[in-house]
Amino acid sequence: MAWLDRLKDGLVKTRQGVKHSLRLIVDGEITEEALEEFEAELLQADVGVGVAGRLVSRLRTGGSAVRSYSIQVLKDVMMETLLNIQSDSLETLIRKGPKPFVILAIGVNGVGKTTSMAKLASRLKSRDLTPLLVAADTFRAAAIEQLDIWGSRIGVEVIKHRQGSDPSAVVFDGIAAGKARNVDVVLIDTAGRLHTKVNLMGGVEKMKGVLEREMPGAPHEVLRALDGTIGQHALVQAKQFHEALGVTGLVLTKLDGTSKGGIVLAIADELHIPVRLVGVGEQVDDLQDFHAKEFLDVLLEE
Ligand SMILES: Nc1nc2c(ncn2[C@@H]2O[C@H](COP(=O)(O)OP(=O)(O)O)[C@@H](O)[C@H]2O)c(=O)[nH]1
Ligand SMILES: [Mg+2]
């Protein structure tokens, strides 16, 4: 399957790291030295201290140097962890949810919010759902234009105002248009700026207020975008204001070309917020639902 190949390509650096560390413990005896090296390698891939520690302690107590045993322990621990973040796909939530289903994308600047919203809109459209994009990042003209270009490319309408206008006003128009056109899903792209309280929180609260007033229960998904290439820093970021912002799902971007793809495991271990989507490239098809089993199979494939 093309998507799996792309995921595999994307995770190539992370996979190399994991494979290398795996060799440390399956190509010989499980010595204390090998275990320590194994743990260090896993930490390099940013799986986090919790997951790395659990793996090592299970291997240590297992006491068997049999290759298949080690691989099975690795798979079991990783799978148990990944199940923490497995959930229904956004498509399922949208189909089950109210109409329009409202998604608010938030996150620090440059993590991939705009791109992910456009890719998601395209994906939902191909699944016979009607999306509407809302350009609520009014901070820079280029941001509005960026979404507009995506909109024309994928054939999805974009609700926009001029640069510098109040994001909440665009959100108001977006939801009104969504209802009037009877769309299935309204995807709201917001400005990220810095992850300081004032910048990230202020605007989001106001937009959420408008949504709640215009459509009680909305937003139905507060989707936080995190950049996979920054590894553990993404986890730190994700923890900031996450409750105050009411984050309900994550999109993990840029898993291509990073050796820190293990961050998915660290997020699963520490956050327990469902990862709805993963991004592995800049093309429109490079965003897919997160499947724990598929992810693990790709990660550990020989
Ligand atoms: N390689 C790669 N690049 C991505 C991915 N997602 C987004 N990008 C790129 O990251 C940059 C910032 O994305 P953008 O959506 O504008 O971020 P925003 O500021 O959060 O809206 C753009 O150049 C995107 O093409 C991904 O999954 N893989
Ligand atoms: Mg943007």
pLDDT tens per residue across all 302 residues of the chain: 567 787 888 788 888 877 777 777 776 677 888 888 888 888 888 888 999 999 888 888 766 556 667 788 888 988 999 998 999 999 999 999 999 999 999 998 899 999 999 999 999 999 999 999 999 999 888 999 999 999 999 999 999 999 999 999 999 999 999 999 999 999 999 987 665 656 656 688 899 999 999 999 999 999 999 999 988 888 888 888 788 889 999 999 998 878 888 889 999 999 889 999 999 889 999 999 999 998 888 888 76
The three-point CA angle 282-286-292 to 5° equals 135
Please tell me the distance between residue 112's alpha carbon and the centre of ligand 2 in angstroms: 7
State the Cα–Cα distance between residues 222 and 200, nearest whole angstrom: 13
* C-beta of residue 208 within 8 angstroms of C-beta of residue 244: no
The answer, yes or no, to whether any atom of ligand 1 lies below 6 A from the CB of 159, is no
| CA distances, 266 to each of 85, 179, 278 (Å) | 11, 39, 15
The pLDDT value recorded for residue 196 is 61
What pLDDT does residue 60 have?
82
Going from the Cα of 110 to the center of ligand 2, the distance in angstroms, rounded, reads 7
Whether 301 contacts 15, CB under 8 Å: yes
Residue in 282, 285, 286 to alter for ligand 1 test, most ligand atoms within 8 A of Cβ: 282
Is 286 touching ligand 1 by the criterion CB < 6 Å?
A: yes
Which protein residue's CA is at the shortest distance from atom 7 of ligand 1?
112
Q: Distance between CA 143 and CA 299 in Å, rounded?
A: 34
The finding on whether 109 has its CB within 6 A of some atom of ligand 1 is: yes
pLDDT of residue 64: 57
Distance CA 21, CA 15 (A): 10
Ligand 2 centroid to Cα of residue 182, in Å, is 26
The pLDDT assigned to 23 comes to: 76
Verify whether ligand 1 is closer than 6 Å to residue 105 (CB atom). Answer: no
pTM: 0.92
Residue 28: per-residue pLDDT: 66
Query: What amino acid occupies position 39?
Result: E
pLDDT of residue 195: 59
Which ligand has an atom closest to residue 135 CA? 2
Which residues, 6+ apart, have CB-to-CB distance to 204 below 8 Å?
104, 106, 190, 245
